[in-house]
């Protein structure tokens, strides 16, 4: 089968032919139909992600497809089931062996592309806003990178939860996408005095921050007393330093979130969140945004769209 993988962390990924063994105990073989890309895939390819598996590594953290074989001991799934799975790797391939316990059955109406674009982006935002920040209806939510893969879902879920959403993104086109997802106020990330613009709108009660650098600092300084700041990622490459004395004076809370990390110590947080999200999708309340969909042969171009920040919402690779 074909797989897009790195042979080492010092060499670029390439499309290669590999053999896939039968699924092991507790695993299923998934015929992959679509793989959703994430900024973390870029970090993993360079060995800069939180997890650093031993190469060779097939890229692609989340995928959707159809079960085509069962390993011994698997009783919760059947051949032919349509599922999505977050596996951390293996999605940019024609097939993968994945743990059955991580597989989530798909609603009948959900396409493989929507499913592949769904788990990490919507899961991250829902766990961040509901489980971590305890976002309440009527609170003011600031979202940075608001037209990106996770940022756009934070806008959509925040609005669904009743928050007043302030979206920060680069340029009129991206801001309009955030507006259509539910943002009430729009701020261009290239404009000056972002802190002052947020303060003029009443300040932030919750900040969903995925960019880092100066933008984090501006939002931090615009957060109201007793506010909560969610550190989601650092797309700018600049990890901010947080002045602890300001946390004390303003009674602020800064919370980090690594969505995949819950698999190791509280997987029920993710399964409960995904159950709610699939329910909202089935009710027509969530609308995944896929700006680009490319075939496996163009996996490198698909990753470049993320690297160059040319995408909005998600980029999906199809098999």
- pLDDT digits 0-9 by tens, 38-80: 989 999 999 988 889 999 999 999 999 999 999 999 999 999 9
Structure confidence at residue 181 (pLDDT)? 96
Structure confidence at residue 313 (pLDDT)? 85
Element (H, E) at 169: strand 164-169
Copy the structure tokens of residue 98.
């994945």
- The C-alpha atoms of residue 293 and residue 313 are separated, in whole angstroms, by 11
Structure confidence at residue 50 (pLDDT)? 83
Structure confidence at residue 169 (pLDDT)? 97
Residue 16 vs residues 3, 37, 58, 97, 296: alpha-carbon distances, Å: 6, 19, 10, 17, 11
Who's near 108: CB < 8 A, 6+ residues apart? none
pLDDT tens-digit readout, 219-245: 999 999 999 999 998 988 899 999 999
**Domains 2-118+288-318 and 121-260 alike in fold:** no
222 contacts 204 by C-beta, under 8 angstroms: yes
- The C-alpha atoms of residue 37 and residue 9 are separated, in whole angstroms, by 18
Residue ranges of the chain whose pLDDT lies below 70: none
- The C-alpha atoms of residue 269 and residue 80 are separated, in whole angstroms, by 27
Nearest to 150 by CA among 89, 35, 220, 232: 232
Domain 2-118+288-318: CATH superfamily, name plus number:
Medium-chain alcohol dehydrogenases, catalytic domain (3.90.180.10)
- Domain ranges for the chain, please list them: 2-118+288-318, 121-260
- The C-alpha atoms of residue 40 and residue 259 are separated, in whole angstroms, by 12
DSSP for 258-284, written as a single string: -GGGHHHH-HHHHHHHHHHHHHHHHTT
Structure confidence at residue 168 (pLDDT)? 98
Name which CATH class applies to 121-260.
alpha beta
Structure confidence at residue 296 (pLDDT)? 98
């Amino acid at each position: 089968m074909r797989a897009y993988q790195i042979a080492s962390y010092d060499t670029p990924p390439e499309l290669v032919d590999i053999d896939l063994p039968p699924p092991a105990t507790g695993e299923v073989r998934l015929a992959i139909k679509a793989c959703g890309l994430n900024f973390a895939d870029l970090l993993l390819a360079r060995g800069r992600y939180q997890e650093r598996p031993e190469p060779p590594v097939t890229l692609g953290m989340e995928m959707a497809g159809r079960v085509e074989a069962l390993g011994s001991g698997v009783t919760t799934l059947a051949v032919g089931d349509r599922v999505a799975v977050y596996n951390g790797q293996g999605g940019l391939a024609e097939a993968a062996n994945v743990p059955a316990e991580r597989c989530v059955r798909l609603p009948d109406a959900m396409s493989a592309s929507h499913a592949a674009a769904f788990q990490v982006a919507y899961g991250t935002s829902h766990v961040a806003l509901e489980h971590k920040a305890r976002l309440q209806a009527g609170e003011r939510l600031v979202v940075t990178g608001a037209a990106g893969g996770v940022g756009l879902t934070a806008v959509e879920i925040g609005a669904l939860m009743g928050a007043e959403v302030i979206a920060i993104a680069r340029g009129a086109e991206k801001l309009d996408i955030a507006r259509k997802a539910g943002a009430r106020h729009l701020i261009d990330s290239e404009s000056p005095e972002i802190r002052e613009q947020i303060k003029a709108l009443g300040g932030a009660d919750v900040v969903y921050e995925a960019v880092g650098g100066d933008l984090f600092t501006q939002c931090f300084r615009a957060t109201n007393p007793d506010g909560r700041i969610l550190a989601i990622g650092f797309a700018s490459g600049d990890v901010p330093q947080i002045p602890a004395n300001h946390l004390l004076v303003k009674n602020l809370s800064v919370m980090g979130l690594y969505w995949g990390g819950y698999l190791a110590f509280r997987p029920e947080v993710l399964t409960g969140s995904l159950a709610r999200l699939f329910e909202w999708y089935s009710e027509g309340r969530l609308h995944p945004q896929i700006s680009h969909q490319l075939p496996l042969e163009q996996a490198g171009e698909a990753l470049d769209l993320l690297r160059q920040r040319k995408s909005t919402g998600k980029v999906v690779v199809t098999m």
